[in-house]
Amino acid sequence: MPKPRRRTPDPRNPRFIPGIYDYCDRWCERCEFSHRCAQFAMRSHDRPDDPRTRDLENRKFWETLGTSALTAKPALKITRSTSKKHAVSTATIEAATAHEKRLERRARMLGQRETNAALTYSHMVDEWFNNELRLPLQHVRNLERRVEKALTSVASAKGELVRLNDCVEVIRWYQAFIYVKLCRAFMSFVEEEEDGALAATRDSSGSAKVALIAIERSLAAWVAMREMFPEETDSMLEILVHLDRLRRNVRRKFPKAKSFKRPGFDDKA
Ligand code: SF4
């Protein structure tokens, strides 16, 4: 007999935190709040597992990595200020397009250093995994040998492997994400400069905060990897220095990012 389908969740249910998905990192598998997220519920209401259990496990995951909090805002939005103000006619569409382009140019100019650095970071990560893949593979083989010689327990070797896998996952997830979030932060910044009403929402700070969290988590993952391969740290050190510089520059450009409150994520006890 076919199983009865679960009822589609109602996004107005008070258990959902309004707008929580605006400043998350879209990594639902690792989210601590999927049971409070209407978007997640809509997408996965047929899944048999309990999101609350998974969220608790995810909280432990981030605590173990040494950083907490997570985030992101949806992909690049259409300029809200322009789309609302202009009536639909060829002339106004052209004006709106020109306006949009001007904002984009200004955003690119303002964020040139940081977005270029984020793009460079993404390439550095690819390069590292292309050139240094032997390191994790060697690490796995060493662990196998140590288990065979009873120098380490199976449980502890497994723990090491999980740790390595977690670090790689974190680095790969945020590799391009940082660039995308920074582009959004600078675009929102120029929109807010133009439109006082948008300035009140401080989307630029929220997006910058999400980018900063991604940077911090990536840093934590690289530090953990460096501890695993203490004899081969030069290439990782270069990445760490680059990321840390990017973090400082982003903090300088978005001083209010730190105090920005993301719905749900920054309300936790
Ligand atoms: S808040 Fe969590 S569950 Fe919802 S979309 Fe973001 S990452 Fe996914």
Residue 18 within a domain: no
Residue 39 within a domain: no
Q: What are 134's two structure tokens?
A: 């032997």
Residue 29 within a domain: no
Closest residue to atom 8 of ligand 1, CA basis: 28
Candidates 80, 63, 61, 69; CA nearest to 23 is: 69
Residue 2 has pLDDT above 70, yes or no: no
Residue 38 within a domain: no
Q: Between vectors from CA 234 to CA 228 and to CA 238, what angle results, nearest 5°?
A: 110
Residue 154 has pLDDT above 60, yes or no: yes
Residue 156 has pLDDT above 80, yes or no: yes
Q: What is the structure's pLDDT at 231?
A: 75
Q: Is 71 in the pocket of ligand 1 (CB under 6 A)?
A: no
Q: Is 36 in the pocket of ligand 1 (CB under 6 A)?
A: no
Residue 11 within a domain: no
Residue 264 has pLDDT above 70, yes or no: yes
Q: Is 20 in the pocket of ligand 1 (CB under 6 A)?
A: yes
Q: What is the pLDDT of residues 60-110, one digit of tens each?
A: 888 877 654 334 343 334 344 445 555 567 888 888 889 889 999 999 999
Q: What is the structure's pLDDT at 76?
A: 37
Q: Domain range spanning residue 193?
A: 112-201+211-256
Q: What are 136's two structure tokens?
A: 């994790």
Q: Which of 125-134, 152-161, 168-177 has the highest mean pLDDT?
A: 168-177
8 against 42, higher pLDDT: 42
Q: Between vectors from CA 206 to CA 205 and to CA 210, what angle results, nearest 5°?
A: 115
- Give percent of the chain above pLDDT 70: 86
Residue 7 within a domain: no
Tell me the mean pLDDT in the region 154-183.
Answer: 94
- The DSSP symbol for 199 reads H
Q: What are 163's two structure tokens?
A: 């740790």
Beta carbons of 70 and 58 less than 8 angstroms apart: no
Residues shown for the chain: 269
Beta carbons of 196 and 163 less than 8 angstroms apart: no
Tell me the mean pLDDT in the region 165-194.
Answer: 96
Residue 48 has pLDDT above 50, yes or no: yes
Beta carbons of 236 and 136 less than 8 angstroms apart: no
Distances (CA, A) of 246 to 25, 211, 227: 19, 10, 22
Candidates 115, 250, 240; CA nearest to 167 is: 240
In the chain, the number of structural domains is 1
Whole-number Å distance between alpha carbons of 39 and 50:
16
Q: What is the structure's pLDDT at 3?
A: 58
Residue 50 has pLDDT above 80, yes or no: no
Whole-number Å distance between alpha carbons of 265 and 228:
30
Q: What is the pLDDT of residues 225-246, one digit of tens each?
A: 988 888 777 889 999 999 999 9
DSSP 86-149: --SSHHHHHHHHHHHHHHHHHHHHHTHHHHHHHHHHHHHHHHHHHHSTHHHHHHHHHHHHHHHT
Residue 20 within a domain: no
62 against 171, higher pLDDT: 171
Predicted TM-score (pTM) of the model is 0.81
Q: Is 24 in the pocket of ligand 1 (CB under 6 A)?
A: yes
Closest residue to atom 3 of ligand 1, CA basis: 34
Q: Is 170 in the pocket of ligand 1 (CB under 6 A)?
A: no
CB atoms < 10 A from the CB of 141, how many?
11
Residue 153 within a domain: yes
